[in-house]
Amino acid sequence: MLLEEGGVALSDDQLARLAPYLVPPRVVRAVAAQLRTEASVFARRKSTALALDHAFAKLVVGRADGNSALRDVERYSSPELAVRTFLSGAEDPHGS
């Protein structure tokens, strides 16, 4: 699995909470200020995406419209914090 290859482990509970939002992995650019890396998006909720950052082997949460680059990316050392942030229902600029 993508996460295991990246060195990130999610618990069965975390995977169960993410299940409705899992999507086929897609590599996109992850942008946070001047830092740009590649990341594989594997879960989406409205305009919020959860991805594995290839350079840092950490989970990231960012915003994206369609297949565009992730913006406003936050990197998380804790998978649980990344999952909670992703599921918290960050505001959607389109109101959906």
> Domain for residue 95, yes or no?
no
C-beta pairs of 3-9 under 8 Å, 24+ apart in sequence: 3/42, 3/52, 6/40, 6/52, 6/54, 6/57, 7/57, 8/52, 8/57, 8/58, 8/59, 8/79, 9/79
pLDDT tens by residue, 13-57 = 999 999 999 999 999 999 988 889 999 999 999 899 999 999 999
> Domain for residue 23, yes or no?
yes
> Domain for residue 47, yes or no?
yes
Range(s) of the domain holding residue 6: 2-87
CA distance 96 to 26: 22
pLDDT tens by residue, 66-79 = 778 999 999 999 99
> Domain for residue 76, yes or no?
yes
Write down the pTM of the prediction: 0.86
> Domain for residue 8, yes or no?
yes
> Structurally, how many domains does the chain consist of?
1
Structure-token pair, residue 95: 């109101």
> Domain for residue 67, yes or no?
yes
> Domain for residue 65, yes or no?
yes
CATH classification of the domain holding 50? 2.30.30
> Domain for residue 50, yes or no?
yes
Structure-token pair, residue 22: 């899992």
